Structure 1
Amino acid sequence: MSDTRRSPWRFGVPLVCLMAGLLLAATHGVSGGAEIRRSDAPRLVDLVREAQWTVDGLKAQRDELAAKLDSTHLRSSDAALAAMLRRSAELAGEADMDAVHGPGLVVTLEDAKRDANGRFPRDASPDDLVVHQQDIQAVLNALWSAGAEAVQMQDQRIIATSVPRCVGNTLLLNGRTYSPPYVIIAIGNAAAMQAALAAAPLVILYKQYVVRFGLGYSEDVKSDVRIVGHSEPVRMHFAQPIGPVNY
């Protein structure tokens, strides 16, 4: 009688071969036909070491350039810097940077005040009762035209780039806001400055508002007034140098 039992290897061997084939096919697809673990493939540690070499080389180059720059400055810049500082100090006075004092005039402008009954004039509009930018500018222009040597408004020195501007019922000057009274101090010939103020058309108009609506205005002659220096950075937006400067 023949043995009809079937050996498990009859099915196992083809299954193993099939799986091996699938594994080989997957490996070929991943590697693109090349060896996965090649002996010359770069390792992470090699990449890190190479990057470190690059950094070290750049650092050495930077240190070399810094040393050359320092040595050049030590040889030539001290004298040039000293010359520039001396020239800067000489120009500071002409550029209205230094604090000064001397005889002069103090002009004060102020918004209108209410009367004893707490009221303003009936026909006055809000614009009639406050000091405006043009009023400040008219006083400044008159003082400069009379030969004022230095001018200060509130706690700031007025320089070529200073522009007072109205912001509501306050005034903006060099980035800072101020409320009245506005005090303008000028060093110079007080009589000449008072004459210029008396002849300035816009100042004359302002004085009419003083009488009509109660705005504040006063002039005080002083034997000695002090004007602060200008300490803020000066940024020129449109000026261009006309040529090389010799120190």
Structure 2
Amino acid sequence: MRLLTMGVFALAGLLFFTSFTTAKGTNIRTDASLLKLSDLIQERSQKNGELDETNGALRDDVESLAEADDGSTQAQDDKLAGLEKSAGTQRLKGRAVTVTLNDAPPNATAKLPGYPEPQPDYLVIHQQDLQAVVNALWQGGAQGIKVMDQRLISTSAVRCVGNTLILQGRVYSPPYKIQAVGDPEKMQQALADSPAIQNYMVYVNVYGLGWKVTEDGTVTLPGYSGTVDLHYAKPVK
């Protein structure tokens, strides 16, 4: 019996030592490390936004200096302006529509008979939902698209981690606003014709996911102000 008692105390001591070594003086039952990571992501997102603004201002200065005396002809200047417009680095003015997506209420239930009660994934906006809207707007002839406060270009990637959007180094939470310049009627028709959005609308009607499409009249989209360097692409040999 004494041997058994000594064994129990020895095991308890080992567990205590292991817990102490793992925790290193911290509370291992809290989410403090996750909170610190979240704070770091938000800090980096804010810093990236500030760098984008600085980069955009410097780009404007460089372009102004280049236009002052670059020795180019008017035809060359017009061609360059057209390329910049297509690349999304210049402001774009025109009629626009805005699509707003939002999470459903956390206590949402099925509104229509024959549908199961929602799982957590049913109630949040996912990456494929945002991509479906962007793709449909391009399909509808959009000349330029802005997601939240950033202009999309050919290398832009709309990505989500959970229900958080990460776009070009910056982090956003719902509601998500996607604004596109083009023919409003054609873009709205493309949204209605998209199979992916038709599937999304089922969740809108059954579980209350947010969906709103508005015509904005004439607006001006900002030019893309971030870097255009391809950090991971390799030339084809």
User: TM over 0.5, yes or no?
Assistant: yes
Say if 1:150 and 1:241 are closer, same or farther in 2 by CA, change over 3 A.
Answer: farther
Q: Which amino acid aligns with 2:223?
A: G
Say if 1:205 and 1:151 are closer, same or farther in 2 by CA, change over 3 A.
Answer: same
Question: How do residues 102-113 of structure 1 correspond to structure 2 at under 5 angstroms?
Answer: 102-113=94-105
Q: Which amino acid aligns with 2:227?
A: P
The CA deviation string for residues 169-191 of structure 1, in whole angstroms up to 9 with x for no partner, is 20111111100010000011111
Shift of 1:208: 0.6
Shift of 1:211: 0.8
The CA deviation string for residues 146-188 of structure 1, in whole angstroms up to 9 with x for no partner, is 1100100000001111111111220111111100010000011
Shift of 1:226: 2.1
Q: Distance in 2 between matches of 1:98 and 1:241?
A: 29
- The sequence identity of aligned pairs, in percent, is 42
Q: Distance in 2 between matches of 1:225 and 1:160?
A: 21
Q: Which amino acid aligns with 1:121?
A: T
Unaligned runs of 5+ in 2: 1-68, 111-116
Shift of 1:100: 1.4
Shift of 1:82: 5.3
Q: Distance in 2 between matches of 1:184 and 1:169?
A: 16
Equivalent of 2:216, from 211, 222, 236? 222
1:209 aligned counterpart, secondary structure:
helix
Match of residue 24 from structure 1: none
Q: Distance in 1 between matches of 2:93 and 2:234?
A: 29
Paired residues of 2:126 and 2:162 also in contact (CA < 8 A): no
1:163 aligned counterpart, secondary structure:
coil
Shift of 1:126: 1.0
Equivalent of 2:93, from 84, 101, 106? 101
The CA deviation string for residues 200-220 of structure 1, in whole angstroms up to 9 with x for no partner, is 011001111001111000110
1:231 aligned counterpart, secondary structure:
coil
Match of residue 127 from structure 1: 121
2:95 aligned counterpart, secondary structure:
strand
Q: Which amino acid aligns with 1:111?
A: D
Question: How do residues 3-42 of structure 1 correspond to structure 2 at under 5 angstroms?
Answer: none
Unaligned runs of 5+ in 1: 1-79, 243-247
Structure 1 or 2, whichever has the larger Rg, is 1
Paired residues of 2:100 and 2:176 also in contact (CA < 8 A): yes
Match of residue 7 from structure 1: none
Shift of 1:91: 2.5
Q: Which amino acid aligns with 2:128?
A: Q
Paired residues of 2:164 and 2:173 also in contact (CA < 8 A): yes
Shift of 1:238: 2.9
* Number of equivalent positions: 159
Match of residue 140 from structure 1: 134
Q: Distance in 2 between matches of 1:241 and 1:88?
A: 25
Q: Distance in 1 between matches of 2:141 and 2:163?
A: 30
Q: Distance in 2 between matches of 1:213 and 1:175?
A: 31
Q: Distance in 1 between matches of 2:146 and 2:125?
A: 17
- TM (normalized to structure 2)? 0.61
Q: Distance in 1 between matches of 2:235 and 2:184?
A: 35
- Higher relative contact order, chain-length normalized (CA < 8 Å, sep 6+): 2
Q: Distance in 2 between matches of 1:98 and 1:208?
A: 37
Q: Which amino acid aligns with 1:124?
A: P
